[in-house]
């Protein structure tokens, strides 16, 4: 296919690496050098000798890649690919919350803007939040957890810690309903139900396993089970099927599709490499502060 040939040619010419999040459309995942979650991709990119990172995901992910690889040029093929959850809290709002709880430590989900990361003590992913809470904080610490109220609630049930939580959420994961799980269990009674911790408590409380996207990929590969009902953004089913051709996967709901994750196309990846757009930049002071909170999180990877 000429389009893919041109992408590969330009990638070589410009010493670029293409990263694709697990929720990207199948053809974008297939041309990527690495497919994974946002933090894993950023760490991978920081270890490469590439001069250019083309991040096929949403904006906060590309920012994270830039913060961890400040010497590299980071491009996002569609500058309008934002994250509604990340946009639910601003640095000013977090500063106000911190002022209301001056003794509290601040834990930020990686799904936040660089400005918000610069205001927090440590970041976490959905995969390491449990460990970060257990190991990075003292028992007496007050903890602000932003922005995902559902991840905060789930981690609270796992750790026994109370949080001062922001009322943000992922619009895609809240589309998954208990009746969706019930219907799929009726259709596929032998299948295991795996859901993401960004889902509301009504979902995480009835799933067989609650896992991050990378956690799902690892679990499925190691599991003796042959059939799975997947409760997260539907883009991950492509990777799961590709890596486990002998197993069967069903989405909990076709509604669980993130429109922002679907904005990136092969044509936009090509244009990004041709025109070196759209470049992602982060102010130096914000980058320095945000890198501290991210590095602390990476220590618990």
- pLDDT of res. 269: 98
Assess whether 187 and 243 both reside in one domain: yes
Name the residue range of residue 43's domain.
2-82+261-281
Domain boundary among 229, 251, 273: 251
Assess whether 157 and 186 both reside in one domain: no
How many domains does the chain fold into?
3
- pLDDT of res. 299: 86
For residues 126-152, average pLDDT: 97
The pLDDT of residue 142 is above 80: yes
Give whole-number Cα distances, 71 to 33, 183, 194, in Å: 20, 50, 38
Residues whose CB is less than 8 angstroms from the CB of residue 263 and which lie 6 or more positions away in sequence, other chains included: 78, 80, 81
For residues 38-63, average pLDDT: 92
Q: Quick one: which of 125, 54, 92 has its CA closest to 270?
A: 54
Does the residue 269 lie in any domain? yes
CA 264 – CA 24 distance, rounded (Å): 7
Does the residue 9 lie in any domain? yes
Does the residue 33 lie in any domain? yes
Assess whether 161 and 92 both reside in one domain: yes
- pLDDT of res. 173: 98
Q: Coil, strand, or helix at residue 54? A: strand
Assess whether 7 and 68 both reside in one domain: yes
The pLDDT of residue 76 is above 90: yes
For residue 208, name the pLDDT band (cuts at 50, 70, 90). very high
CB 17 within 8 A of CB 48: yes
Does the residue 295 lie in any domain? no
CB 293 within 8 A of CB 120: yes
* Angle CA 271–111–138, to nearest 5: 150
pLDDT digits (tens, 9 = 90+) for 154-176: 999 999 999 999 999 999 999 99
Domain boundary among 170, 201, 218: 170
Q: How many CA atoms lie within 13 A of 64 on its CB side?
A: 33
Does the residue 288 lie in any domain? no
Assess whether 113 and 152 both reside in one domain: yes
pLDDT digits (tens, 9 = 90+) for 230-289: 999 999 999 999 999 999 999 999 999 999 999 999 999 999 999 999 999 999 999 999
Does the residue 136 lie in any domain? yes
Assess whether 15 and 78 both reside in one domain: yes
227: CATH? 3.40.50.10800
Assess whether 127 and 196 both reside in one domain: no
CA 33 – CA 19 distance, rounded (Å): 6
For residues 17-46, average pLDDT: 94
For residues 195-221, average pLDDT: 98
Work out the burial of residue 102: count CB atoms within 10 Å of its CB; fewer than 13 is exposed, 13-18 middle, 19 or more buried.
exposed
Assess whether 65 and 24 both reside in one domain: yes
Does the residue 6 lie in any domain? yes
The pLDDT of residue 301 is above 80: no
Q: Quick one: which of 29, 13, 3 has its CA closest to 240?
A: 29
Does the residue 124 lie in any domain? yes
Assess whether 165 and 235 both reside in one domain: no
- pLDDT of res. 283: 98
CB 123 within 8 A of CB 97: no
Assess whether 90 and 144 both reside in one domain: yes
For residues 180-194, average pLDDT: 98
Domain boundary among 251, 271, 289: 251
- pLDDT of res. 38: 84
CA 165 – CA 136 distance, rounded (Å): 17
Q: Which two tokens stand for residue 153?
A: 């609630």
Assess whether 166 and 183 both reside in one domain: no
């Amino acid at each position: 296919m000429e389009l893919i040939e041109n992408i590969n040619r330009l990638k070589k010419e410009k010493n670029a690496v293409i990263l694709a999040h697990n929720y990207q459309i199948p053809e974008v995942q297939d041309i990527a050098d690495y497919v994974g979650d946002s933090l894993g991709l950023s760490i991978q990119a920081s270890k490469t000798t590439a001069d250019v990172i083309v991040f096929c995901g949403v904006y906060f992910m590309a920012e994270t890649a830039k913060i961890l690889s400040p010497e590299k040029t980071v491009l996002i093929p569609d500058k309008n690919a934002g994250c509604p959850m990340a946009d639910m809290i601003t640095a000013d709002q977090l500063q106000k919350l911190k002022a209301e709880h001056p003794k509290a430590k601040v834990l930020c989900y990686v799904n936040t803007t660089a400005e918000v990361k610069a205001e927090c003590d440590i970041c976490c992913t959905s995969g390491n939040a449990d460990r970060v809470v257990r190991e990075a904080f003292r028992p007496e610490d007050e903890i602000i957890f932003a922005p995902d109220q559902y991840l905060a609630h789930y981690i609270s049930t796992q750790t026994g810690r109370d949080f001062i939580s922001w009322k943000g959420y992922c619009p895609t994961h809240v589309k998954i309903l208990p009746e969706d799980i019930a219907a799929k269990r009726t259709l596929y009674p032998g299948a295991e139900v795996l859901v993401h911790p960004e889902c509301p408590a009504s979902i995480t409380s009835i799933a067989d396993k609650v896992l991050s996207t990378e956690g799902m990929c690892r679990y499925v590969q190691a599991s003796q089970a042959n059939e799975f009902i997947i409760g997260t953004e539907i883009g991950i089913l492509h990777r799961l099927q590709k890596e486990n051709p002998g197993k069967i996967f069903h989405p909990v709901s076709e509604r669980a599709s993130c429109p922002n994750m679907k904005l990136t196309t092969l044509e936009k990846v090509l244009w990004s490499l041709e025109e070196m757009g759209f470049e992602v930049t982060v102010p130096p002071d914000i980058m320095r502060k945000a890198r501290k909170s991210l590095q602390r999180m990476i220590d618990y990877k």
